[in-house]
Amino acid sequence: MIGFKKTALGLAVVLAPLFSSATYADEEAMAAAGRVVFHKCEACHSMDPSKNTFGPSLHGVVGRDAASLPRFHYSEALAQSGLVWTEENLRKWISDNEALVPGTRMRHVSITDRAEQDYLIAFLKTLKR
């Protein structure tokens, strides 16, 4: 299965730049690559708007106030951060969440590759409220 994930991400990475403008096909390719990157997140996060797991649901996360989902107990640090999950803040969070919000409880594998960040954010944008 790991080979498939790497192959799918590799294919999406190769195909995404083939589109010279921000077209629907380009957005689809970016989101498809992001879905593969999301496998790193789904051990703790759901895409289901009504289901929090170890972490909160990421359905509708883009544009949402941080620490705002009901039925999830956030760290005090994140609750008091005043963050909105803009693309810029999501990029900072997925690369080094502890640097963005010291004292957060979330532990994860940092995604520092800019392309993987772009793909993941494109996928998260498809999870609309």
Half-sphere exposure of 9 (CA within 13 A, CB side): 21
Which domains are assigned to the chain? 2-126 (1.10.760.10)
Averaged pLDDT of the chain: 87
User: In whole angstroms, what is the distance from residue 4 CA to residue 1 CA?
Assistant: 5
DSSP 11-51: HHHHHGGG--S--HHHHHHHHHHHHHHGGGTTTT--S-TT-
The dihedrals phi and psi of 84, each to the nearest 5 degrees, come to: -115, 140
User: In whole angstroms, what is the distance from residue 21 CA to residue 11 CA?
Assistant: 19
Q: What is the pLDDT of residues 4-50, one digit of tens each?
A: 555 556 556 555 555 445 577 899 999 999 999 999 999 999 999 99
pLDDT at 16: 56
pLDDT at 21: 52
Contacts of 40 (CB under 8 A, 6+ apart): 108, 109, 111
